[in-house]
Amino acid sequence: MQETRKQQLQSFCQALGVQMHDLELLDMALTHTSYAHEAKQHPKPQHNERIEFLGDSVLSIIVSTYMYNNFPELAEGQLTKLRAHLVCEISLFEYAKKIHLGDYLKLGRGEDFTGGRERPSILADAFESVLGAVYLDQGMEVARTYLLGLMQPEIDYICRHGIFNDYKTRLQEYLQRDGEVEITYRLLGSSGPEHNKVFTSEVIFEGKVIGKGQGHSKKDSEQHAAQQALKQLHVQNK
């Protein structure tokens, strides 16, 4: 491994609050299939699909155990529905952005050029891959501490208050609580191939951008922009 990459991964570990022993494992967790397929070396470098499979299971058991232990009033059906929301692609995408995961990904040139570092599916998968690497290298307790350090506030909120899927309506109700105001959404653009486009939108209130979001449709990107605005306004904690 090149020294610059080693230093980059050490910086990432420091940001995560996890001291990884095997940086090669972490490097593999951050290697997208597009990079491995384009590599000219033989054998080809390993990519993160297998460790993503493991990370998905680690994610599920940590979140499920936390919910089971801390919310005994929730029935099985409720737990299943809430967990699905908490570990869905867009939720993991938001956590990946929070730890700036895209900055550390190894992508093929084509994927990188078309906005792969900001693509929800790639970042969500890589988030699971990194969790899988932390689990293999450090064990379940460290993996649990790392994951819940990111997710616990959201898990607690969702389990106590339920799921609010219509973030645009919720944002409008919040901002218009004292009277009519103007809220507008603006499409900033799209990236990626036709079959997997990612749209980016922003929400504007009183001339200021208060949230940005991405999604696989214009409508979804607006919902995620509204979701980010609600978080910025700390509405979820009220």
Reading the chain (238 residues) residue by residue, the pLDDT tens digits are 789 999 999 999 999 999 999 999 999 999 998 888 777 777 777 889 999 999 999 999 999 999 999 999 999 999 998 999 899 887 898 899 889 999 999 988 888 888 888 888 899 999 999 999 999 999 999 999 999 999 998 899 888 877 755 688 778 888 887 777 888 999 999 988 877 788 999 999 988 999 999 988 888 889 899 989 988 887 654 3
Cα distances (Å, whole numbers) of residue 117 to 55, 107, 152: 20, 8, 25
CB 91 within 8 A of CB 85: yes
Judgement on whether residues 114 and 47 belong to the same structural domain of the protein = yes
Judgement on whether residues 79 and 150 belong to the same structural domain of the protein = yes
Judgement on whether residues 138 and 29 belong to the same structural domain of the protein = yes
Q: Is 128 a catalytic residue?
A: yes
Judgement on whether residues 73 and 56 belong to the same structural domain of the protein = yes
Which pLDDT tens digit goes with each residue over 98-117? 899 999 999 888 888 888 88
Cis bond leading into 45, ω under 30°?
A: no
CB 48 within 8 A of CB 32: yes
Other CB atoms closer than 10 Å to residue 111's CB: what's the count?
20
pTM recorded for the entire structure: 0.70
The residue from 56, 89, 112, 154 that is catalytic is 56
The residue from 27, 111, 128, 202 that is catalytic is 128
Judgement on whether residues 115 and 216 belong to the same structural domain of the protein = no
Helix (H, G, I), strand (E, B) or coil at 151: helix
Q: How many CA atoms lie within 13 A of 42 on its CB side?
A: 0
Judgement on whether residues 175 and 134 belong to the same structural domain of the protein = no
Q: Report pLDDT for 218.
A: 85
Domain of residue 202: give its range. 167-237
CATH code for position 176: 3.30.160.20
Residue 135 bridge partners (DSSP): none
Number of domains in the chain: 2
Judgement on whether residues 112 and 192 belong to the same structural domain of the protein = no
Cis bond leading into 43, ω under 30°?
A: yes
Judgement on whether residues 75 and 135 belong to the same structural domain of the protein = yes
Q: Is 56 a catalytic residue?
A: yes
